[in-house]
Each structure stands twice: as C-alpha cells, then as structure tokens.
Amino acid sequence: MLGRVRVFALADLHLSAVTPKPMTIFGPGWAGHPGVIWEHWAATIQDTDLVLLPGDLSWAMTLDDALVDLEMVAQMPGEKVILRGNHDYWWSSVSKLRSRLPARMHAIQHDALRFGPPGAGVVVCGTRGWDTPGHLPLDAQDAKILSREAERLRLSLAAAARLRQPGDRLILMLHYPPASPPFQPNVLTPVLQDSGADLIVFGHLHGVPEGRTVSQVGGIPAHLVAADALGCVPRLLLELPEAAATPASV
C-alpha cells in the first residue's frame, strides 16, 4: 500500500440484516441508520485507512446471521478491527470467529494488533469493559465481571507491549465507558492510567449529551464514538506517516 493511513473509530453499528430491529426506539437520529453509516463511511474512509469498531456490531444471535452484517462492513473501504460489545451475542469462540471473518477484518480478544511501518505504527488493544459505579449499582456479580474485565485488559496490554515499537501510538478500545457519572475510580481505572495508551475509544452510550461522558482517564483522552453520538460519521483519531502494513498480532 502507498500513501498515508488514517485511523478512525465508530461503535454501535447495531446492524440487523437478517432480523431487522429498528433503532428508532433510541431516538429519531437512528432512522435508516445503516444506510447513513454506509454513506458517511464511503465519503470518509479510504482503503488504506484503519477503522476501529468497538462493539455492538450486530443484533444477530448466531455467527451465521452476524456474518451477513459483517460482510456488509467488509465491503466498505479500510482495514477493520472489531471488539465485542454487550449485544454481540453471536460472539463466542474467538478462534471460530477469526476463522470465518471476511478479509481485512480482525478481532481483538485478550490480545493486540499492530499496523504500520517500523517505529511509526499503531498498536490496538482493549476489552469489552462493564457497567461501573455511578451508572448502575455495583452488586457482587457486577463486581466480579468488572474485575474479570480488568484482568482481560491487563492481558491485552501485555500483548500490546510485546508488539509496540518506539514511536508507535497505542489506542485502547473499550465498549463500555471507562467510568460513568460521577466518574469515580473503579477497578479499571489504575489499569487504564498505567496503560501508556495515547487515547481511549468507547461506545455503548446512546442519547447522552456532550459533557455527560468521561473525557479523560489519568490524562489519557477518552472519546465516545457511538454511532448516534457522531451522527454516524466515523471519527478521525490520528494519522500515520505511511499506509498500514499487514497487521502483526500477539
């Protein structure tokens, strides 16, 4: 590939080609949202770009049905990295998923990926996350899940550290926000603060006014990239000096 590569993010595509599930229950901004996403994607993304998709890709219940939606994503320009969201019920075995993913689509789970030339690339890692104090009461089961997600994030960051080269940028993907109002620390907070990430992207939240989401964790910028929050326009995160090479993974 030649030219420059840009890194974009867009979460919560909520596709439902097999069994349509209208998203307008979340507001009129979701009317016909798949077509709006494809229109903005085609106008924004080039084939040399990298697109991060942190969760809630498809309402499908099975991988076979989800692949109908994923194939539509695959037909759009760019290299894609996907992360599991809370509504991605079709995502079970990551090895099975990877064996069936369309070309140029990569799944993150307990690991990391690197794109780009030596010393000027980007490493992507992350985990789903979970509801945090301030958003919902944290009962014993929630606390257990959140602790498990913190450990999965540590595994992903360890994989990222093995891939990262001097000069590389590190992007950390979550599906859930890293914190919720009133933005009190939780078990993910120290892991995020010590991650060395250049930025964090997350989705999950719908219809949330600007300024009502966390914007940084320990000085690391955090961006809400849910489709409705962005008007279904992929958000530009950064630009690398050259187009991404074949990704390496750990």
Q: List the structure tokens of 107.
A: 């799944």
For 72-118, write each residue's pLDDT tens digit. Answer: 999 999 999 999 999 999 999 999 999 999 999 999 999 999 998 88
**148 near 167, Cβ under 8 Å?**
no
> Could you report the per-residue pLDDT of 5-44, keeping only the tens digit for each?
799 999 999 999 898 888 877 777 788 899 999 999 999 9
Q: How far apart are CA 138 and CA 195, in angstroms?
A: 24
4 pLDDT above the threshold of 80:
no
**Domains of the chain listed by start with CATH number:** 5-249 (3.60.21.10)
Q: What is the pTM of this model?
A: 0.93
pLDDT at 2 exceeding the cut of 50: no
Beta strands in the chain (DSSP E): 5-9, 50-54, 79-83, 105-107, 112-115, 122-127, 169-174, 199-202, 216-217, 220-224, 235-240, 248-249
